[in-house]
């Protein structure tokens, strides 16, 4: 497959792995955070830890939109489905995320009209096809998905489609990285910068991380070779005593970002004063709400939202895992009460969640190598 196989080439990958070993100093430990959930998934999916020396640790960051959404927002969203005129639409990723009253999938099984869409434009099409119904789109995601929500709203306004609204849960990546760096229990040496988000925002917004925080950051692609090359670039900076922003993913990410996308976002959204992040608490100016000019398309204004606040199950340590303080398997519920099939926390649901990625691709591998008998028990 073109543009994919080149980045999974065995010879190139083994070169990159050798370069990583050559550049890393065996006398010290490295902690690199991959900010984006897409990277977390790729690291496990491709077994990339097999190529890294023991002293390089990859810490999973907060860049999984499903994972950072507080449970109360899911309950808020699902209350809208009790109105029989509503068709509620969401990305497939959201369907199994548990709210206090069950996941969207459970509500759907009980009769709520909840449908999976692949883009907000599909939700708008659904509204056009069903003029006697009201279609709500459950918008989630970082700057990666926010532009498509914005363009859909601009289109809805241009076409005068009024039976459509958006429940916005869009968040922005920079405040989350800042919260991580400000957190006293965090020690991160360098960052693998998010790839998809950067196609929109470009590389400039990361400059303070390099300049003020003195941490190298390299914006990275998602194929095995991309990620290994990014680690090579981070190690080179550290070896040379530098900290700068570099772009490994230049074939996709323009340094200045996507101006058209940023313009559409600015027209539709404004920054909320604060927003709750799961496991990280309230972070100021970290989320996008709809501007007053789009009030008619804002589900939060059109429906009475209870504003549910639900605390996560006590034993679940999603917050610590989300911030990279704990590894997935160190959570008390991991693999016992909480599995991809019966998730307690969202990190176990999304394919980008570090718990699901770890459970699906790595967990049993590790168990099997330590003690095969225990591995069998864990599976049974």
The residues that touch another protein, with contacts defined as CB under 8 A, are 1, 4, 8-10, 13-14, 44-48, 50-51, 92, 95-96, 105-106, 109-110, 118, 122, 224, 340-341, 351, 360-365, 367-369, 372, 375-376, 379-380
Q: Provide the token pair at 64.
A: 């999984």
- Looking at beta carbons only, is 21 or 259 nearer to another protein? 21
Cα distance between residue 375 and residue 292, in whole Å: 55
- Looking at beta carbons only, is 222 or 294 nearer to another protein? 222
Cα distance between residue 320 and residue 326, in whole Å: 5
Cα distance between residue 138 and residue 166, in whole Å: 6
- Looking at beta carbons only, is 326 or 375 nearer to another protein? 375
CB of 321 to another protein, least distance (A): 19
- Looking at beta carbons only, is 49 or 302 nearer to another protein? 49
Residues 307 and 72 sit within 8 Å (Cβ to Cβ): yes
CB of 34 to another protein, least distance (A): 16
- Looking at beta carbons only, is 97 or 238 nearer to another protein? 97
- Looking at beta carbons only, is 8 or 187 nearer to another protein? 8
- Looking at beta carbons only, is 40 or 351 nearer to another protein? 351
CB of 204 to another protein, least distance (A): 29
Q: How far apart are the first and last CA of the chain?
A: 37
- Looking at beta carbons only, is 79 or 360 nearer to another protein? 360
Buried b (16+ CB within 10 A) or exposed e, 26-54: eeeebebbbbbbbbbbbbbebebbebbee
CB of 202 to another protein, least distance (A): 24
CB of 217 to another protein, least distance (A): 25
CB of 216 to another protein, least distance (A): 25
Comparing CA positions, the residue from 121, 94, 120, 118 lying closest to residue 107 is: 94
Question: Hey, how many other C-beta atoms are within 10 angstroms of the C-beta on 118?
Answer: 9
DSSP assignment of 245-314 equals EEETTTTT--TT--HHHHHHHHHHEEE-SEEEETTTEEEET-BEEE-GGGGGGBHHHHS-------PPPT
What are the CA-CA distances from residue 179 to residues 39, 117, 125, 201, 357 (Å)? 20, 32, 38, 19, 23
CB of 356 to another protein, least distance (A): 9
Contacts for 259 with CB less than 8 Å, ≥ 6 apart: none
Q: Is 330 exposed, middle or buried (0-12, 13-18, 19+ CB in 10 A)?
A: exposed
CB of 276 to another protein, least distance (A): 27
């Amino acid at each position: 497959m073109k543009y994919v196989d080149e980045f999974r080439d065995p010879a190139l990958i083994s070169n990159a792995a050798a370069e990583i070993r050559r550049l890393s100093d065996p006398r010290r430990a490295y902690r690199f955070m991959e900010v984006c959930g897409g990277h977390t998934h790729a690291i496990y999916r491709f077994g990339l830890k097999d190529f890294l020396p023991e002293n390089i640790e990859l810490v999973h960051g907060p860049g999984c939109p499903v994972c950072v959404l507080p449970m109360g927002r899911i309950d808020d969203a699902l209350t809208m489905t009790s109105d029989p005129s509503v068709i509620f639409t969401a990305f497939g990723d959201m369907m199994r995320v548990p709210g206090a009253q069950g996941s969207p999938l459970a509500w759907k099984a009980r009769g709520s009209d909840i449908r999976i869409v692949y883009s907000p434009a599909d939700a708008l099409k659904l509204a056009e096809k069903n003029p006697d119904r009201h279609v709500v789109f459950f918008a989630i995601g970082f700057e990666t998905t926010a532009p498509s929500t914005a363009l859909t709203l601009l289109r809805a306004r241009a076409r005068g489609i009024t039976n459509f609204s958006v429940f916005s849960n869009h968040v922005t990546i920079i405040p989350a990285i800042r919260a991580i760096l400000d957190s006293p229990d965090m020690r991160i040496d360098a960052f693998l910068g998010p790839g998809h988000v950067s196609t929109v925002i470009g590389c400039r917004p990361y400059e303070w991380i390099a300049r003020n925080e003195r941490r190298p950051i390299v914006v990275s692609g998602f194929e095995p070779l991309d990620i290994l090359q990014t680690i090579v670039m981070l190690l080179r900076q550290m070896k040379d005593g530098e900290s700068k922003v570099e772009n490994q993913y230049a074939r996709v990410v323009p340094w200045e970002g996507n101006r058209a996308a940023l313009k559409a976002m600015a027209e539709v959204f404004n920054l909320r004063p604060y927003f709750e992040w799961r496991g990280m608490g309230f972070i100021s100016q970290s989320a996008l709400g709809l501007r007053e000019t789009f009030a008619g398309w804002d589900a939060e204004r059109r429906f009475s939202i209870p504003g549910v606040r639900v605390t996560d199950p006590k034993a679940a340590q999603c917050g610590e895992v989300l911030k990279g303080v704990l590894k997935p398997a160190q959570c008390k519920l991991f693999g016992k009460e909480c599995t991809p099939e019966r998730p307690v926390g969202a990190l176990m649901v999304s394919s980008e969640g570090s718990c699901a990625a770890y459970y699906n691709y790595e967990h049993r591998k590790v168990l099997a190598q330590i003690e095969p008998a225990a591995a069998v028990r864990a599976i049974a």
